[in-house]
Amino acid sequence: MRPIPHPSPNFGDRRDGARPDLIVLHYTGMASAAAALALLCDPVAEVSSHYVINTDGTVLALVAEEKRAWHAGAGSWRGRGDVNSHSLGIELVNTALHPFPEPQMAALEALLAGMMGRWGIRPEGVIAHSDLAPTRKSDPGARFDWLRLALAGLSVWPAPGQGDPAGFAADARAFGYPAGIDDAVLLRAFRLRFRPWAAGPLDAQDAGAAADLARRFGIDRTGANA
């Protein structure tokens, strides 16, 4: 489905000639697509995204991909701030209380494939808003099907295994999670993305998942691919 133009005034130029190498997924957390669009196109609100996908699979284009939409806010990924300059944002219409319907997920898969192809974005570059801003965000939330995207080559998923919990924080941060956050917040964000059914203290499965992601997709201390 071709995106329907629905321009937002809330955008600017990407800073320092940056090109997007991330795609950040969000939920709107609002009762309807109309309510979300009203906010994302309100110049007073100063928020936007590149696309909105409604529950029926309709895709609306708000900001040109070349421009810097205002969707990520404060946060960092892989040691780099100003995520807006380095990313594209997709808002999924969802109140956070129900699953994401099939037409919406199918439209997301098609949209992601095109965006990743146009910009050369790798699967590990498709992340959650909660990944880059774990102290303040939880979208797209525990009901979002990250495994489905990974199986389609549109994101990543850890291989099952056991690991040493003592290495969890370092491995999660090597994968990309921000430094300087409490270990409990880090675990909550990691589980929200990769183990939303898990409960209780950090365990060997958390550690194994983080170790696998760090091994396959991690960065070294210079910020380069490990």
In a domain, 115, yes or no: yes
* Surface-to-core class of residue 221, CB atoms within 10 Å of its CB (0-12 exposed, 13-18 middle, 19+ buried): exposed
Return d(Cα 114, Cα 137) in angstroms, integer: 26
64 and 132, same domain (yes or no)? yes
37 and 114, same domain (yes or no)? yes
| Structural domain that includes position 182 | 165-217
Split into its structural domains, the chain has a count of 2
- Identify the domain boundary among 125, 151, 177: 151
Q: Which residue has the tokens 């958390």?
A: 206
170 and 147, same domain (yes or no)? no
- Identify the domain boundary among 151, 177, 202: 151
Q: What is the CATH number of the domain that holds 56?
A: 3.40.80.10
pLDDT in tens, 189-222: 999 999 999 999 999 999 999 999 999 999 863 3
56 and 145, same domain (yes or no)? yes
- pLDDT score at 220: 66
Which residues in the chain show pLDDT less than 70? 220-226
Structure tokens at 64: 């040109």
DSSP 160-225: P----GGGHHHHHHHHTPPSSS-HHHHHHHHHHHH-TT--SS--HHHHHHHHHHHHHH-B-TTSSB
- pLDDT score at 219: 83
In a domain, 174, yes or no: yes
pLDDT in tens, 15-29: 999 999 999 999 999
| Ramachandran quadrant class, 137 (left: phi over 0; alpha: psi -120 to 50; beta: rest) | beta
Which phi and psi angles does 109 have, rounded to 5°? -60, -45
Model's pTM, two decimal places?
0.96
91 and 62, same domain (yes or no)? yes
- pLDDT score at 222: 35
Return d(Cα 131, Cα 77) in angstroms, integer: 8
| Orientation of helix 183-194 relative to helix 204-217, angle to 10° | 80
Buried b (16+ CB within 10 A) or exposed e, 126-135: bbbbbbbbbe
In a domain, 226, yes or no: no
Cα–Cα distance list, 170 to 157, 173, 189 (Å): 18, 5, 14
